[in-house]
Amino acid sequence: MVFDRRLIKNFDMWIVILCLILGATGIAAIYSATHLNTFYSDLFLKQILWFGAGLAVMLLITLFNYRILKELSYIIYGLSLILLLGVLFFGKSALGAQRWLRIGPFSFQPSEFAKLAFIIVLAGYLTPEGMAKRILHLRDLFVPLLLLIPPFILVMEQPDMGTALVFIVILFGMLYFAGFKIWQLLILIGIGAAILPAAWLFLRDYQRMRILVFLNPKMEPLGAGYALTQSRITIGSGKLFGKGFLHGTQTQLRFLPKQHTDFIFSVLGEEFGFLGAIVLLFLFLLLIYRSMKAASTRDMFGRLLVAGIISGFAFQIFVNIGMSIGLVPATGLPLPFISYGGSSLLFTFTGIGIILNVRMRRFMF
Amino acid sequence: MVRKDKFFFLLIFLLFILLAGRLFYLQILKGNFYRECSEHNRIQILKEFAPRGTIYDRSLDILVSNRASFCISLIPWLAGQRVDEVLTRLASILPINLQEIKSKIEAQKFRPFQPILLKEDASPSIVSRLQESHMDFPGIVVQIKPCRYYPHGRMCAHILGYIQEIQEYDLERFEEQGYEQGDLIGQTGIERAYESYLRGVDGGTEIEVDVLGRPGQPPHILAQKEPRQGAKVVLTIDREIQEACEKALGNRPGAIVVMNPLNGEILAMSSGPDFDPNMFTTGIPAQRWKELAAHPRKPFMNRAIQGLYPPGSAFKFVTAVAALEREVVQPQELFKCEGKISVGGREYKCWNRAGHGWVNFERAMAESCDIYFYHIGTMAGPEAISEYAYLFGFGAPAGIDIPGEKKGVVPGPEWKRKRGGKWYRGDTFNFSIGQGYLLITPLQLANAMCAFYNGGRLYRPHLVKEILLYNGERKKFSPEVIRDFSLKSSTVFFLENALRAVVTRGTGVLSNIPEAEVFGKTGTAQNPGGQDHAWFVCYARPVEGRARKGTVPVVVVVFIEGGGSGGESACPVARYVLHKIYSVEPAAPSYPSGISGGIGVRSTTLAESLSRNTYTETGLSTQEETDGF
C-alpha cells in the first residue's frame, strides 16, 4: 500500500469513538443482566474479549483498499452459502433452530457473515461494470432477487425469520441507492405482499405463534406473551431517570428471559430511564449519520457497500428496540454493539470497518 | 449529502422518532403505571414440569416412563426467624450441607419466596416424617416432580440414552425453544434424537407477588396452565429379543444387532458393557461421572454404532459379491490353497496353515479360505471391492435415528494415495479378507447383510416405529430406501448357497438351529492391540411348521471385542438369540459341551437377574463393580 496522507486525514475518529461508547454500554448492560446469575456471570468478560477482537478486526480492515472486495465478491458469497449449508447439515441431528457452527472452542453464526457477503456481492453486481446500462428497468431486479434467494431460504430454514428479513431490507436499501426508482421498488413490495399469505404456510409453528401472540399477548400468558408484557413493564418502570445501574428490580430479579441477548434494551430502559434510552438512540443515529458521509464517495461500489451496511444496521436497531417496547413482533434479532454475542459484535465491527475504509478512500478516484 | 442520501437518512430518522415516541409513552406518560406494576404487582411463575413422553417397545411394553419424585425445598420467607433452627433439625434426619444452603439463602435474599432445593428424590419415609411433624418445620415444603424412570435398568441403555440437566453449550443452542437453566434434556440415544417430541410442554401458575416476592393471602392467580406430557414414542425394538441379546452378550465388551431386513427396523441392539440410565435422573456427582466417562471399558460407548473394528472374514461376502458381479470368477473354478502364498518377497498365509487344497467358491466361503479370497480379490481389483463396500453402506454412517454414529473407513488405491501412500498387492489381499485399513461398525455389517438379503436394496436402519402425539395424531415411520443396486440373480443364488454351507458344514455350524434356515459368515479379525475380535453375521428364515408362528426373517450380527474365534464364540451367541426368536419352547438351548465355559454366558439365577435390575446409588450393580463392569 502506498502511503497517502489523505488516508489518515479522512479516517473518521468520530465513528471509532461512537463504537467505543456503544460497546462499553453493551458490556455494562450485560454485566447488569448477568452478574447475579452464577451460570452466566462471566459473559461480560467474554463480551470484552469479543469487543477487543472486533476493534482489531475493524482497524485491520481499514488497512487494505476495500475495492479488493469486489474482485472477491462471488468467492465470499459462495463461502457464505457453504457455511449456511454447513449449519443446516450439522444442525440436522439437533432439534429446531440451529444457527451456530462450532469451530474449536468458538461457536460462530454464519448468518452474520452471510449478511455482509450478500451486501458485497450485490454491491459488486450493481456497479456499472456489472450493469451494462444506466437506465434501470424492472427486469434489472431479476439478478438481485436471484442473489437474495439462496441465503434467504437457508437462513429461513434455520429457522431465523428476523435475520431473513434483514436480508430483504438490505436488498431494498441497496436497490434504492443503485438508482432504482421508488415506484419500481413499490411494485416489488406489492408482489411480495401478494405472495405473503403463501409465506404463512412456510412459517414454523413457533413463528406463527409469535405473530399471533404479538397481536394478542393474552393468548399465551406464560410464554411469549409473558416476555412482551414483562418487557413493557421493565422499560416503562424506568420512567425519566431510571432506577440506576444494577438497581433495576425487574432486571435483577430476572423477570425477563434472554435479558442479555434479545431483551438487552429493557435492561438499559429500566436502569437508565427515558433519558438513557434517548441518549442511546441518539448515539446510534449519530453513528448512522457519520457513516452516511462515507456514502458520498464517487465510487458506486463503495457507496452501495455503505448503503447496505447501514440499512441492515438501522433495521436491526429498529426491530430489536421495537420488539422490547411492543412496536413489532418478537423476531430475536440482536441489538448491534449491545446484545451479548461474539459473531454479532465481530461482524458489526467488520461492517463499520468497511464503512471507515470507504470513507478514507472516498476522494481517491 | 445528495438528495437521495438525505431522503434515506430522513427515513431512518423518522423510524427513530417512532421509537422515541413509544418510549415517551411507556416511560413518561405511563411511567407511573408501570413503576407501580413493577413494585406492587410483580408476577412470578411457579413452574410445573411436564412429564416426558413414555417410550415403548414394539408391542407397547413400557421401556421408559416417569415416577413421582419428592423434592424437599425451603422457602426462607416462610421459615422467617426460625430458619437456622429448622435447618439444624432437618440436618438430623437428612444429609444436607448447611454451609451450602446458607450461602444460597444469602444469594437470593431479595427473593425469599423462591424455594431453595434441599434434597431431590427424597425417600417416602423422610417425606412422611416431615409431613407428620410439619409444625416443627416451617418453611419446608415437599413438591412432587416427575422423574425419569427406566424400569428395566440397564436394558436398552445405549438405545434409550439418558437425560441430564441442560449444559451450557446446549443452552446456547436450545434457548430458542424455551429451554432454561435447570431444565432436563436428552443427552444421547432416543432421549436425545426425539427430545422435541418427548419433552412435552411445562405448565405453571402465574401469581402476583409483592416487592419482596411474597404472594398475597390468598395468592392472586393470574393464569394457570396444565403441563402437557410429551409424545409417546414406540420403538421397533422387541423387548424379548433385546433381553435375549443382552443376556447372551453377558458382561463382555461387544455388540449384537438384530434387524428386520425387509424394512430396516432394528429389533434389538445391545452393546456391552452397559450402564444404568437411572443414575442420571436425579443428578450424578461430577467426580463419579468423570470416572465413568474415562473408564477403560467405555460403558457409555454404543459399540453397535460407535465402535470401529476390522470385520475380518465376515467381510468376505462383500468381496465375493464384487467378484461375482464383475464376473471375474466362476463359482465352480478351483484354486489351490497351500496354506500360504508368496508375493513380492512376502508371505501371506491362510488361517489354515496346512492349506485347504483345491477349493471352489462354496468351499472357500464355508471354510473361509483366505488364499481363495486373495485370488478373487486381486482379480476383481481393490477398486471394485471399494465400490461394493460403499454400495453396501460401509464408509458412511448407516443413518440410524440416534446421534453419534461413526462412518468407518473403506480403503482403496485412491484413498491411500490421498494419504500419501502407495497401494500394494498385499493391501488388496488384506482388504479382500476384511483386514488392513478397513474399519466398520456392527450396525453397518448388519445393514449390509440386509441389503444382500434384499438383492441389493439398502434401507436406512431405524429405531422408531411411530410417535403418538398429544392430539391423537400418529406419526408413522415408513421404510426408507437409501439405494438399490440390484444384484444379479446368479450372484444371489451362488452366495446364498455358500452362506448356507458356512452354517451347515463350515465354520459357522455352531449357529445352526432347526427352526430356521440360517445363512451366515464367521469372522475372526486380527486385532493389533490384543485378542482377536469374534464376528458372526447371518440372516435367517423361519422354517414353516418348526418356527414359532408369526416370526419374520431377521439379520443378526454378533460382535465380541477380543472374543477370539468367530465360529467358536460368536456363533453360539447368535444361535442363542435365533433360538429365542424362532423356538416355540421357552427353555434356552444348552450350549454344545466343551465350549460352554469359553463363551461366558452366565446361567441366570433369580438372584442374579435381581442384581442386574437393582441399582445402587452409582447405578452400577455391585457385581459389575468387582469385575470392572
Percentage of chain A surpassing pLDDT 70? 83
Sequence spans of domains, chain B: 45-235, 239-613
A3 touches chain B (CB under 8 A): no
Fold of B239-613: Beta-lactamase (3.40.710)
- pLDDT digit string (tens) for B407-440? 999 999 999 999 988 999 999 999 999 999 999 9
A89 assigned to some structural domain:
yes
Contact B540, B574 (CB under 8 A): no
Chain B residues whose beta carbon lies within 8 Å of the beta carbon of residue A229: 43
Query: What integer pLDDT is reported at residue A153 of this predicted model?
Result: 87
User: pTM of the full predicted structure?
Assistant: 0.62
Which is the catalytic residue, given B270, B313, B432, B511?
A: B313
Please count the helices (runs of H) and the strands (runs of E) in chain B. Answer: 26, 23
Contact B469, B54 (CB under 8 A): no
By DSSP bridging, strand B464-468 and strand B457-459 are: unpaired
Residue B602: pLDDT band with limits 50, 70, 90:
very low
> Closest Cα of chain B to A64: distance in Å?
26
Buried b vs exposed e over B238-258: b needs ≥16 C-beta within 10 Å?
A: bbebbbbbbbbbbbbbbbbbb
Q: How far apart are the first and last CA of chain B?
A: 77
Average pLDDT of the segment spanning A46-59: 93
B68 touches chain A (CB under 8 A): no
B20 touches chain A (CB under 8 A): yes
A52 touches chain B (CB under 8 A): no
Partner-chain contact A226 B1, CB within 8 Å = no
Chain A residues whose beta carbon lies within 8 Å of the beta carbon of residue B460: none
State the amino acid at position B325 in one-letter form.
Answer: E
A291 assigned to some structural domain:
yes
Preferred mutation among A88, A233, A331 to probe B, highest tally of B CBs within 10 A: A233
The residue of chain A nearest to residue B227, with distances taken between CA atoms, is A222
> Closest Cα of chain B to A206: distance in Å?
9
Interchain CB contacts (distance < 8 Å): A and B: 152
Rounded Cα distance between B562 and A291, Å, is: 68
- pLDDT digit string (tens) for A281-333? 999 999 999 999 888 888 889 999 999 999 999 999 999 999 999 888 777 78
Percentage of chain B surpassing pLDDT 70? 88
Average pLDDT of the segment spanning B361-387: 95
B493 touches chain A (CB under 8 A): no
A16 assigned to some structural domain:
yes
The set of cell numbers assigned to B209 is 407477588
- Classify B534 as helix, strand or coil: strand
Rounded Cα distance between A350 and A59, Å, is: 9
How large is the C-alpha radius of gyration of chain A?
21
Percentage of chain A surpassing pLDDT 90? 43
* Residue given cell 464383475 in the structure block: B326
Residues 6+ apart with CB under 8 A from B241: B258, B267, B268, B577, B580, B581
Report whether pLDDT(A346) > 90.
yes
Partner-chain contact A237 B16, CB within 8 Å = no
B313 is catalytic: yes
Report whether pLDDT(A81) > 80.
yes
- pLDDT digit string (tens) for A214-232? 666 555 555 566 777 788 8
Number of domains in chain A: 1
Report whether pLDDT(A85) > 60.
yes
- pLDDT digit string (tens) for B219-235? 777 777 888 899 999 99
Chain B residues whose beta carbon lies within 8 Å of the beta carbon of residue A233: 34, 37-38
Residue B363: pLDDT band with limits 50, 70, 90:
very high
A365 assigned to some structural domain:
no
Q: Which domain holds residue A231?
A: 5-360
Report whether pLDDT(B534) > 60.
yes
Q: How far is CA B592 from the centre of its chain?
A: 33
Query: What is the interface pTM, i.e. ipTM, of the complex?
Result: 0.91
- pLDDT digit string (tens) for B270-316? 998 999 998 887 777 778 888 888 888 889 999 999 999 999 999 99
B37 touches chain A (CB under 8 A): yes
Query: What integer pLDDT is reported at residue B467 of this predicted model?
Result: 95
Query: In the predicted model, what is the mean pLDDT of chain B?
Result: 85
Domain B45-235 falls under CATH 3.90.1310.10: yes
Q: Degrees (nearest 5) of the Cα angle B603, B604, B607?
A: 140
State the amino acid at position A206 in one-letter form.
Answer: Y
Buried b vs exposed e over B346-372: b needs ≥16 C-beta within 10 Å?
A: eebebbeeebbeebbbbbbbbbbbbbb
Query: What integer pLDDT is reported at residue A364 of this predicted model?
Result: 66
Query: What integer pLDDT is reported at residue B605 of this predicted model?
Result: 32
Query: What integer pLDDT is reported at residue A160 of this predicted model?
Result: 78
A180 touches chain B (CB under 8 A): no
Chain B residues whose beta carbon lies within 8 Å of the beta carbon of residue A261: 175
Among the partner residues A97, A233, A292, nearest to B5 by beta-carbon distance = A292
By DSSP bridging, strand A106-108 and strand B221-225 are: unpaired
Phi-psi region of B113 (alpha: psi -120 to 50; beta: other; left: phi over 0): alpha
Among the partner residues B31, B39, B168, nearest to A240 by beta-carbon distance = B31
Give the DSSP letter string of B439-473. Answer: BB-HHHHHHHHHHHHTTSEEEPPBSEEEEE-TTS-
Residue B210: pLDDT band with limits 50, 70, 90:
low
